[in-house]
Structure 1
Amino acid sequence: MKFSTNKNLDALMKVGASIALFFISKKVIAKQQKKSGEADMDTNDAAGQAASLKQALNPSGYRWMKNIDGTDKEAIWRIAPQITNLDDVNTHYKKIAEGDSLYDDLQGSLSPDEYQKFLSLGTKGKVGSYYYASKSDKVPFNQWVITTAEANVRKTPKYESKYSIGNNIAKLVPKGYKLGASTGKFAYDEKNKVLFIEFWTFTKSGQKKTYYVAKSQIEFVTKEELAKREKQTKIPLQVIEGFGKTENENDTTSKEEVISTDTAIVYDEKFNQIGLTPKNVVMGFPVMTLNTGKGNFIQFQTVQGVKRWIRGNAAIIQERRF
């Protein structure tokens, strides 16, 4: 059988021309879309936000450098709260990013937690982690806040070590106590990954104050549910005095204080090791000293009213400087 070389050549040329035309057309369309998207920037908020996000995700502007460009995360966090329609922003992003998806590019540039943060900020909490939203049904308004574990009540929504001088802990409250009523507000300590909820209560002097507690240490209980529970057992209310005071105000009028003289182990009342304290930290007020036969120990009480032990060779008792 004989084949026509010219016919085969013509067919190949036609296929090649079709492929070339396809890619040229695709490129032309992409350019037109990019021009259209850029033209919308001055008159359309979503288009402007898309352009700003593209700049943050691909600072050089060269698509082939996107994976090595780096990401301007600060710019992303500034833009996200301004967005009113995230899907609309994605539509404009595709126009100026040659069809790339904003969601895909963000997931490729941010950690899973950061991506959830962006979604929450960009949708006003409708999707993504509610930790970054302004309100959530997971943190209800005007319900009783009851401790489900030993909890530190704080004056600010930030984790601070109980051993740090001037920390924000107002009181250490045992499990099973009512703290007060929820305000519906909350704040996420992103650095320490702790969600704090806000509640209000009255101090002994009758003053209304708001405090914070980790959500993981409490539960929300309605008035009706509380009434049912208290038919069986009365749940005590923890009255929180003022910042840095305990129920026994004489605890803070001690003329002496315990100060660590070296890095030392801190023990609870049963001599279980609970942590380390650095040198030159005011631990609290002296309660007693004890010789166990294996060494001398100093018992002290913190400003939160908690009793702890420290070895006598790692601390001193001295007069307070008022």
Structure 2
Amino acid sequence: MRNSSSALPIAITQGDPAGIGPETVVQAFRDAPAELAGCFVVGDVATLRRASQAVVRPGIPAVPVAEIGSPAEAWRVPPRCVPVLPLPGIPGPQRWGQVSAAAGRAAAACVVWAARAALRGEIAALVTAPLHKEALAAAGVAFPGHTELLQAEAAAHQGLAVDAVPVRMMLASDELRTVLVSIHVSLRDAIAAVTKSNVLQTVQIAHAALLRSLGRPPRIAVAGLNPHAGEGGLFGHEEEAIIAPAIADARAQGLDVHGPIAPDTVFMRARNTPEHPGEFDVVIAMYHDQGLIPVKYLGVDKGVNVTLGLPLVRTSPDHGTAFDIAGQGVADASSLIEAVRMARQLSA
């Protein structure tokens, strides 16, 4: 781990102030001081101080929150203290568990600031606490989530059209990695997005990202779209007409790609445990739920969302805003801590 004051810090966005993001951030600084060294929060000081009070328990005092004036000051804040770089003009604390435009504006502003700082090379990475898509929409934000917002910022920074910066979502844990062909669209639109070019591009993006992080060519499995991967055309023709030709093109480029494999078995084959080393390093899933359900079932507390294809490192915990428990101090910060660890590994 880098501990020099000259090393670039990692920014953590506060997330939706009405959700569990701020309190998991506070708990992470409290419970994992070594992992959080050199990290700081982009957000609102009052929001983080309220979150600190929310996690107070008998024998567990409030976590101090310190206002900083620049990212570099994060290295000088003592352990188990939350350094916050305040963004002027963003809304402060919002009512717990309530969707609001103000909360959406605050969450989006933090992400935009951190993305631009990363693109300018001022921070090593950004870790995003969860935001609420309905609150984003209420705030007039034109993007449905973090991935699309970061893609737009990266494209604007490079003077490119958004489609010229293709990105993909990877959900990763110690046991399983999945990369999605499509992200936040309806299932009907997700099926329409299963095209040869989209599948091939997803394989290429996953290969490039994991080649860097693993230090070797990754073993890639591609899931089918239909039950039993189409069963030779009996249950659908997408495998024969679209997915298999994309895999053939990827193999022609020298990539280690296998499939299409039946979706109900491919994740078990890729799962990596001490008792059962996985056959594959990553599974390419055809749509959101196909790829995310297996990873989340294995443990939301260990899953990390990584955006691939960006000219910056971005990770996030594998959970949402959890409005039903927000402000109760019972949320689990494990996934956020894992996201910080992965961000540090990817930016090293």
TM tier, shorter chain? under 0.3
Q: Relative to total residues, which structure has the larger strand share, 1 or 2?
A: 1
Q: TM-score, normalised by structure 2?
A: 0.24
Q: TM-score, normalised by structure 1?
A: 0.25
Larger radius of gyration: 1
Q: Relative to total residues, which structure has the larger helix share, 1 or 2?
A: 2
